[in-house]
């Protein structure tokens, strides 16, 4: 396999991961303490990388173009297929709507600044969906090329943020202990969703082929890049502000405003805004690519212009409609996104691998993820913990974030 495809695939995984989840980390980790936040992030990375490798193990027994829909049906039957489809559609539509709303809002502000004309509030969201939807419709190769450029600029912007914030990091802030134990449970779903790239795995397999050594490298390195960036992001965000100050921020914009005011540096605000814009764009590309290929498989659509256009409409019109007409209602549904992701990225891969291993002969020389049944059990229990934490927070039994 070409080195370009290998690197490009890693960046699609990393670009999909480093998005809105990262923007939420300063708020989610407020009150946790730096060491606790680092531990949770590392454990989330281990869990999600493990289940990503489980997906690679599954793909070696299927056709190179097999997606979640067909994998679930072949191994778990019709009920498994329905669960997989429902989880995929709910999660990806929710994320796409959030990215269209967030990216469209940012684009709207820039259009007003550039044109000095008051535009309808839907303009930014519509343009965002059309521009990036067109790129997705062109195929994975086009997404790869655009994502490389955006990812490079995003990393430059992020490096600028790190460069400007690092001198203000104070060791005493990093040594603070958790303010409230319940906050640790509240943060777990956000830390988990910050590594949600699994919907893009079938697209990567389709793009790269069944080269198990390369796919394994893509999953590990592609997810390790966000881990390294997240850890440094926690270092500067929690090192610049005390936990009590961080907990006063209700969302990411207030966090940026708070840092800019405290440090009296508009350049930091500009750099973080650029990074946030690109984070939304690259995440949208990765998530919507997985959703596009999912619908292409489910609807049995080919690669003709007509078929890709139909698939594109099914992929982008519903989340765009939600983002335009029901933004508040859909944002409420995002609270359940972690539950859908647990089903999609943990429960289903574990269940399918369990069935696949029972079907495979003991002397099978194909790739198998280490950990045996113990690893599958630990992953399942971790998924139960994440769902429990999310439900406890929704019921008001543990502190809310922000």
pTM for the whole structure: 0.81
Longest dimension (CA), the chain: 69
Give the span between the Cα atoms of 165 and 181, in whole angstroms: 28
Residues 56, 219: contact at Cβ < 8 Å? yes
Give the span between the Cα atoms of 110 and 87, in whole angstroms: 34
Residues lower than pLDDT 70 in the chain: 1, 20, 178-181, 250-253, 326-336, 361-364, 400-402
Q: Could you report the per-residue pLDDT of 176-214, keeping only the tens digit for each?
A: 776 666 778 888 888 888 888 887 888 888 888 888 889
HEC secondary structure over 77-125: HHHHHHHHHHHHHHHHHHHHHHHHHHHHHHHHHHHHHHHCCCCCCCHHH
**pLDDT, position 245:** 77
Q: Which domains does the chain have, with CATH numbers?
A: 3-394 (1.20.1740.10)
């Amino acid at each position: 396999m070409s080195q370009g495809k290998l690197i490009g695939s890693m960046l699609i995984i990393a670009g999909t991961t480093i998005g809105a989840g990262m923007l939420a980390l300063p708020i989610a980790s407020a009150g946790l303490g730096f060491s606790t936040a680092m531990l949770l992030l590392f454990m989330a990375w281990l869990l999600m990388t493990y289940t990503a490798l489980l997906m690679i193990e599954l793909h070696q027994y299927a056709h190179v173009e097999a997606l979640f829909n067909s994998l679930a049906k072949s191994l778990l039957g019709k009920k498994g297929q329905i669960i997989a489809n429902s989880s995929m559609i709910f999660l990806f539509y929710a994320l796409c709507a959030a990215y269209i709303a967030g990216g469209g809002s940012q684009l709207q502000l820039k259009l007003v600044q550039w044109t000095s004309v008051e535009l309808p509030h839907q303009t930014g969201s519509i343009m965002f969906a059309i521009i990036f939807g067109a790129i997705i419709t062109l195929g994975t190769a086009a997404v790869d090329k655009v994502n490389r450029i955006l990812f490079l600029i995003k990393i430059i912007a992020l490096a600028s943020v790190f460069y400007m914030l690092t001198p203000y990091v104070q060791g005493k802030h990093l040594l603070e202990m958790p303010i409230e134990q319940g906050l640790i449970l509240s943060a777990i779903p956000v830390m988990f969703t910050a590594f949600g790239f699994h919907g893009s795995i079938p697209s990567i397999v389709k793009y790269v082929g069944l080269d198990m050594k390369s796919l394994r490298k893509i999953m590990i390195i592609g997810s390790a890049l966000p881990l390294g960036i997240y850890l440094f992001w926690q270092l500067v965000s929690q090192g610049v502000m005390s936990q009590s100050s961080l907990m006063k921020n209700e969302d990411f914009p207030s966090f940026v405003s708070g840092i800019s005011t405290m440090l009296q540096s508009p350049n930091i605000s500009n750099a973080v805004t650029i990074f946030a814009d690109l984070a939304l764009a690259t995440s949208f590309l990765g998530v919507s690519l997985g959703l596009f290929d999912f619908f292409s498989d489910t609807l049995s659509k080919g690669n003709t212009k007509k078929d890709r256009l139909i698939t594109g409409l099914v992929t982008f019109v519903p989340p765009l409609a939600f983002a335009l007409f029901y933004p508040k209602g859909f944002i409420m549904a995002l609270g359940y996104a972690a539950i859908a992701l647990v089903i999609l990225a943990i429960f289903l891969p574990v269940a399918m691998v369990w069935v696949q291993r029972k079907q495979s002969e003991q002397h099978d020389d194909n790739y198998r993820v280490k950990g045996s049944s113990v690893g599958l059990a630990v992953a399942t229990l971790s998924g139960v913990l994440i769902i429990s934490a999310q439900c406890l927070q929704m019921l008001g039994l543990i502190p809310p974030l922000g």
